[in-house]
Amino acid sequence: MRMMLYTMILGAGLALTAPPLLAADPPKEETPELLAREGMERLMQALKLFIDMIPQYEAPELNDNGDIIIRRKRRPDGRPVDPDAEDTKA
Protein backbone atom coordinates (compact mmCIF):
# COMPACT_ATOMS: atom_id res chain seq x y z
CA MET A 1 0.00 0.00 0.00
CA ARG A 2 2.79 2.42 0.90
CA MET A 3 4.67 1.59 -2.29
CA MET A 4 1.61 2.48 -4.32
CA LEU A 5 1.24 5.79 -2.43
CA TYR A 6 4.90 6.67 -3.07
CA THR A 7 4.48 5.84 -6.74
CA MET A 8 1.43 8.08 -7.01
CA ILE A 9 3.23 10.98 -5.29
CA LEU A 10 6.22 10.58 -7.58
CA GLY A 11 3.97 10.42 -10.65
CA ALA A 12 2.09 13.57 -9.58
CA GLY A 13 5.38 15.42 -9.02
CA LEU A 14 6.63 14.45 -12.46
CA ALA A 15 3.33 15.44 -14.07
CA LEU A 16 3.49 18.89 -12.47
CA THR A 17 7.06 19.55 -13.61
CA ALA A 18 6.63 18.35 -17.21
CA PRO A 19 4.74 21.41 -18.59
CA PRO A 20 7.44 23.93 -17.56
CA LEU A 21 10.08 21.73 -19.13
CA LEU A 22 8.12 21.54 -22.37
CA ALA A 23 7.49 25.30 -22.39
CA ALA A 24 11.21 26.11 -22.34
CA ASP A 25 12.80 27.71 -25.40
CA PRO A 26 13.57 25.18 -28.09
CA PRO A 27 17.30 24.67 -28.55
CA LYS A 28 18.87 26.58 -31.43
CA GLU A 29 19.75 24.54 -34.44
CA GLU A 30 23.28 23.30 -34.01
CA THR A 31 24.90 22.49 -37.30
CA PRO A 32 28.28 20.79 -37.53
CA GLU A 33 29.77 23.98 -38.96
CA LEU A 34 28.51 26.05 -36.03
CA LEU A 35 29.77 23.54 -33.48
CA ALA A 36 33.18 23.38 -35.19
CA ARG A 37 33.44 27.18 -35.27
CA GLU A 38 32.53 27.52 -31.57
CA GLY A 39 34.99 24.77 -30.70
CA MET A 40 37.81 26.44 -32.61
CA GLU A 41 37.04 29.83 -31.03
CA ARG A 42 37.20 28.31 -27.55
CA LEU A 43 40.40 26.46 -28.41
CA MET A 44 42.05 29.65 -29.71
CA GLN A 45 40.97 31.56 -26.60
CA ALA A 46 42.40 28.84 -24.35
CA LEU A 47 45.66 28.84 -26.30
CA LYS A 48 45.94 32.63 -25.99
CA LEU A 49 45.38 32.45 -22.23
CA PHE A 50 47.98 29.69 -21.96
CA ILE A 51 50.61 31.69 -23.85
CA ASP A 52 49.87 34.80 -21.80
CA MET A 53 50.54 32.82 -18.61
CA ILE A 54 54.02 31.72 -19.73
CA PRO A 55 56.65 34.14 -18.41
CA GLN A 56 58.78 35.50 -21.21
CA TYR A 57 62.49 36.16 -20.73
CA GLU A 58 65.36 37.62 -22.73
CA ALA A 59 68.37 35.55 -23.72
CA PRO A 60 70.79 34.94 -20.82
CA GLU A 61 73.73 37.34 -20.50
CA LEU A 62 77.05 36.73 -18.83
CA ASN A 63 78.21 39.59 -16.61
CA ASP A 64 81.88 40.65 -16.15
CA ASN A 65 81.73 39.10 -12.67
CA GLY A 66 80.57 35.79 -14.12
CA ASP A 67 76.96 36.29 -13.09
CA ILE A 68 74.26 35.02 -15.42
CA ILE A 69 71.50 37.58 -15.96
CA ILE A 70 68.13 36.60 -17.40
CA ARG A 71 65.88 39.62 -17.87
CA ARG A 72 62.11 39.55 -18.13
CA LYS A 73 60.53 40.84 -21.33
CA ARG A 74 57.52 42.04 -19.36
CA ARG A 75 56.33 42.28 -15.79
CA PRO A 76 53.81 39.81 -14.34
CA ASP A 77 51.09 42.46 -14.67
CA GLY A 78 51.74 42.69 -18.43
CA ARG A 79 53.58 46.03 -18.55
CA PRO A 80 56.82 46.00 -20.60
CA VAL A 81 60.08 46.22 -18.71
CA ASP A 82 62.34 49.21 -19.44
CA PRO A 83 65.65 47.63 -20.59
CA ASP A 84 67.68 50.65 -19.45
CA ALA A 85 66.34 50.63 -15.89
CA GLU A 86 68.35 48.91 -13.19
CA ASP A 87 65.80 47.01 -11.10
CA THR A 88 67.89 44.90 -8.74
CA LYS A 89 67.58 44.13 -5.07
CA ALA A 90 70.56 44.19 -2.76
* Residue 56: predicted pLDDT: 79
Q: Which residues of 28-44 are buried (b: 16+ CB within 10 A; e: fewer)?
A: eeeeeeeeeeeeeeeee
Once rounded to an integer, what is the mean pLDDT over residues 67-78? 78
Per the model's pLDDT, the better-predicted residue between 21 and 79 turns out to be 79
- What pLDDT band is residue 69 in, cutting at 50, 70 and 90? very high
**pLDDT per position as a tens digit, 39-48:** 999 999 999 9
Q: Does residue 24 carry a pLDDT above 50?
A: yes
